[in-house]
A and B are shown apart, each in its own frame.
Chain A
Amino acid sequence: GAVVSQHPSWVICKSGTSVKIECRSLDFQATTMFWYRQFPKQSLMLMATSNEGSKATYEQGVEKDKFLINHASLTLSTLTVTSAHPEDSSFYICSAPRSGSNYNEQFFGPGTRLTVL
């Protein structure tokens, strides 16, 4: 099956610094990728839709300037958490739908655990 990777899998940073998380589709091209945030024992909360070649679409309540998304190529999207604070600590997951299948099956990355001290 298709594979989506995320890097890093776990990151610890100091408050006030910025952290970049990469999401790559390894064996297919993805014009769209999705970024989710998940707290323990809770559901995935969609943060934004990353669009290759254009600006990301953010969900209501998500700060665009805090969570910068760049879809640099058809296989790479990045999420940068700027000026991170402890409340940004969470599990971040990306996903990418693979076009061409009969229902554009969506593939998920393994997630990135962010801890802000």
Chain B
Amino acid sequence: AQTVTQSQPEMSVQEAETVTLSCTYDTSESDYYLFWYKQPPSRQMILVIRQEAYKQQNATENRFSVNFQKAAKSFSLKISDSQLGDAAMYFCAYRPEYGNKLVFGAGTILRVKS
């Protein structure tokens, strides 16, 4: 079975600084999708960024980028120029190529200091 591990329960970052959230996963599949979701205090899940495993290029969405290391099964999220609105719980998630079931990590609470 696939597993997703987020080893940082909490992280803090100063406003305007950069922070990296870690995620590792385990799978025997060669093709799959990886996601980072943000859950703010409202608890609405918001997709931040996704990565297709067959793509070598790291995904980027504005201030959010990933470092996808397929061989190491690592998928970290970098948030640049952190803003107060980035404060939330962040979940790393895995989905096989076929099927819609997501496997979530335990989550990382990100605090942004002004």
Taking Cβ atoms with an 8 Å cutoff, the residues of A that contact B are 32, 34, 38, 41-44, 46, 49, 91, 93, 95, 97, 103-106, 108, 110-111
Contact = CB atoms under 8 A, between A and B. Distances in A.
- What secondary structure prevails in chain A residues at the interface with B? strand
B81 to A, nearest CB: 24
A32 B99 CA distance: 10
A44 B42 contact: no
Contacts of B109: 41
Interface in B47-73: 47, 50, 52
Between A32, A41, A43, A95, the greatest number of chain B beta carbons within 10 A of the residue's beta carbon is seen for: A43
A103 B55 CA distance: 13
B100 A104 contact: yes
B45 A46 contact: no
Interface residues of B, number: 19
B91 A97 contact: no
Contact of A110 (B44, B100, B101, B106): B44
Given A34-B100, A43-B105, A44-B104, 11 more contacts: A34-B101, A41-B109, A46-B102, A49-B101, A95-B45, A103-B95, A106-B100, A106-B102, A108-B44, A108-B45, A111-B43
A86 to B, nearest CB: 21
A103 B104 contact: no
A25 B65 CA distance: 29
Contacts of B101: 34, 46, 49
A105 B44 contact: no
A103 B43 contact: no
A93 B45 contact: yes
Contacts of A38: 43
A105 B43 CA distance: 19
B38 to A, nearest CB: 11
A108 B37 CA distance: 11
Contact of A103 (B50, B89, B91): B50
B33 A103 contact: yes
28 contacts: A32-B100, A34-B100, A34-B101, A38-B43, A41-B89, A41-B109, A42-B106, A42-B107, A43-B105, A43-B106, A43-B107, A44-B45, A44-B104, A46-B101, A46-B102, A91-B43, A93-B45, A95-B45, A97-B100, A103-B95, A105-B47, A106-B47, A106-B100, A108-B44, A108-B45, A110-B43, A111-B43, A111-B44
